[in-house]
Chain A
């Protein structure tokens, strides 16, 4: 009985953690379609996010934003005079499933482009599929950098547009000398912290501790005790998913707050704050490129349209905006190229600009990331985020940190 149960639990744990064997498709890569997705007066596009299991918490809102953009484009006449038809697939928070569904969208649905992914693990799983099929993926979330696939457009921030401005803010504005790193145990926090340590070494900041916890971890009492014992001036936080809620609640519970120990997070946005409870995070800092409060007529219209479609209680935030921008950038590039052909869209995308809610964004031709303004925010009692620092103009994306001398050898 016990043995049977343990076997059952192991199967369950493996499925839940999504570490089944990676089933990269074996189908031979077909010759790239001349103009994929086009049939009659319609163009099919893929939307691939986790709509179930633990990442649905974050990804459902991004899917919603992408559908809003598709709606807007259709209302203003579509692309090349054709209506966009979204094909929605569920990646189910499982990385091999993302690869499978990406292949299905490309070969069965023959979509013109796919918008999707959130975790770096899901992107890494999809990358070979898109490269092999020479098909396009628009990835909407800030990530750890050190990647530039020719078939992926990165509409979220790379390191030099988010993490480095965050560190500069800590040093210049908050006069932080001793920093503690807390993160989830997977590729993004591990890589980000490697970069943070290299930066700190070159800029005279001391790293007094580094702690990782598994994704889905719910107890942070010991981590918080270790942070307290190390007496840092601030904490740099890269915890993702549900664990983020547990961390903030227990950080506050241990008697710490923005006054006694400021924390800067790169994964807590307006959408997450609703689930954390603003009383647990008020006054703390975040680093992103867009907030619901970002000024400008484009953003006012975007926030209004999003709330009108999905409810007044739904905030917009950085990944939501990046998902929305991705769809518009693709549509603009297709119009310019006059075709949905991936190579033509890529060529037309070089230097392409779009008046996004975050301000004017430009696609960098060499690495297919976009120029983004860094914005450091402070959490307000109403659950929104006000900008308190950052860059005054869009920063050129540098995913491999080539222009930073301290980053040599990363």
Chain B
């Protein structure tokens, strides 16, 4: 029982990190069919934003700088996404393979840029002191930093859900996602919606970067560690589906944690990949599929 609760919490924690890194991608990939390989570097930008703020404000104000880092990283990564969309991606809509290669090139350039600015070595970010330690529930150790990440993800998901359902901008976003030509003839300015989507999607990657500083390395190649997992969540969940991404992250996180406990880390990675391959054989469209009427594809 203790093992079960422990691994359940680990699974939940892995799921929250997966969801955090994949949330932004769900929208850029789902709405715009853009395979953005530079998404990982936006996560990196978020992590470095935390580092820059902490260095600038000094070690006396770690909690403050960490709190500031969340909105700041959203803005920094979001702005980088806007620039990328404006300069490159809007010129190649409908050419997914081209965007894949171009954004991969951008990702390499951003990595090198980070290396030139911050040095090749990893940098250190100290977590706020209120996240030190953890609590034990039913024999399972739950650390505050992992609980914090789960909390951040929950808040972000609620915020996105409200945005999509309650606000006019969110409704326009869903309209474009569901049927781009119809939204366009109904007067929705799709290029503008695309830009907003890209800003939000990239910004969410920045927020993920802040969360990751608590648990992982902060260096120029940080993005490489998360980008593939992020795409897996999006594919398994179904394109552009918030609910799908949540289910997929939970499924992958739990599978990872329980397989790993019973075998080894390497085998768990392979096992999860195998499960994904089998799942996509049965359901190539992912867990949740867009309901649409009409003939438009």
Q: Which residues of A contact B (CB under 8 A)?
A: 1-6, 8-9, 12-13, 16, 51-54, 56-61, 185, 211-214, 216-219, 221-223, 225-226, 228-229, 242-246, 249-250, 253-255, 271-272, 274-279
Question: Which residues of B212-235 are within 8 A (CB) of A?
Answer: 214-222, 224-226, 228, 231, 235
Q: Is the CB of A242 within 8 A of B143?
A: no
**A-chain residues with CB within 8 Å of residue B221 when the two chains form the complex:** 53-54, 56-57, 242
**B-chain residues with CB within 8 Å of residue A61 when the two chains form the complex:** 120-121
Q: Is the CB of B134 within 8 A of A253?
A: yes
Q: Is the CB of B266 within 8 A of A213?
A: yes
Q: Is the CB of B10 within 8 A of A221?
A: yes
Q: Which of A59, A249, A271 has the most CB of B within 10 A?
A: A249
Question: What are 20 sample pairs from A and B whose C-beta atoms fall under 8 A apart?
Answer: A1-B96, A2-B235, A5-B100, A6-B235, A51-B120, A57-B121, A213-B265, A214-B266, A221-B14, A225-B3, A242-B222, A246-B215, A249-B216, A253-B146, A255-B143, A272-B122, A274-B122, A275-B217, A275-B219, A277-B126
**B-chain residues with CB within 8 Å of residue A214 when the two chains form the complex:** 265-266, 269
Q: Which of A13, A51, A250 has the most CB of B within 10 A?
A: A250
Further 5 A-B residue pairs, CB within 8 A, beyond A16-B224, A57-B219, A242-B221: A221-B257, A245-B218, A275-B121, A275-B122, A276-B124
Alpha-carbon gap, A244 to B143, bound state (A): 19
Q: Is the CB of B100 within 8 A of A8?
A: yes
Q: Which of B33, B265, B268 has the most CB of A within 10 A?
A: B265
**B-chain residues with CB within 8 Å of residue A4 when the two chains form the complex:** 96-97
Q: Looking at the complex, which one of A8, A59, A225 makes contact with B10 (CB distance below 8 Å)?
A: A225
**A-chain residues with CB within 8 Å of residue B256 when the two chains form the complex:** 219
**A-chain residues with CB within 8 Å of residue B112 when the two chains form the complex:** 52
**A-chain residues with CB within 8 Å of residue B133 when the two chains form the complex:** 255
**A-chain residues with CB within 8 Å of residue B134 when the two chains form the complex:** 253-255
**B-chain residues with CB within 8 Å of residue A52 when the two chains form the complex:** 108, 111-112, 115
Chain A: CB-nearest residue to B124: A277
Q: Is the CB of A211 within 8 A of B264?
A: yes
Alpha-carbon gap, A12 to B227, bound state (A): 10
Q: Measured between C-beta atoms, what is the minimum distance from B260 to chain A in Å?
A: 4
Q: Is the CB of B220 within 8 A of A246?
A: no
**Contact mask for chain B residues 112-133; partner A; CB cutoff 8 A; 1 contact, 0 none:** 1001000111111110000001
Q: Is the CB of A219 within 8 A of B14?
A: yes
Alpha-carbon gap, A225 to B134, bound state (A): 14
**B-chain residues with CB within 8 Å of residue A255 when the two chains form the complex:** 133-134, 141, 143
Known A4-B96, A246-B215, A249-B216; judge A274-B224 contact (CB<8 A). no
Q: Looking at the complex, which one of B119, B125, B215 makes contact with A253 (CB distance below 8 Å)?
A: B215
The 4 closest A-B pairs by CB, nearest first: A275-B122, A245-B217, A213-B265, A60-B120
**A-chain residues with CB within 8 Å of residue B217 when the two chains form the complex:** 218, 242-246, 275
Q: Looking at the complex, which one of A6, A12, A185, A249 makes contact with B266 (CB distance below 8 Å)?
A: A185
**B-chain residues with CB within 8 Å of residue A277 when the two chains form the complex:** 124-126
Q: Measured between C-beta atoms, what is the minimum distance from B112 to chain A in Å?
A: 6
Alpha-carbon gap, A102 to B289, bound state (A): 51
Q: Is B73 at the interface (CB under 8 A from chain A)?
A: no
Chain B: CB-nearest residue to A229: B3
Q: Is the CB of A242 within 8 A of B215?
A: no
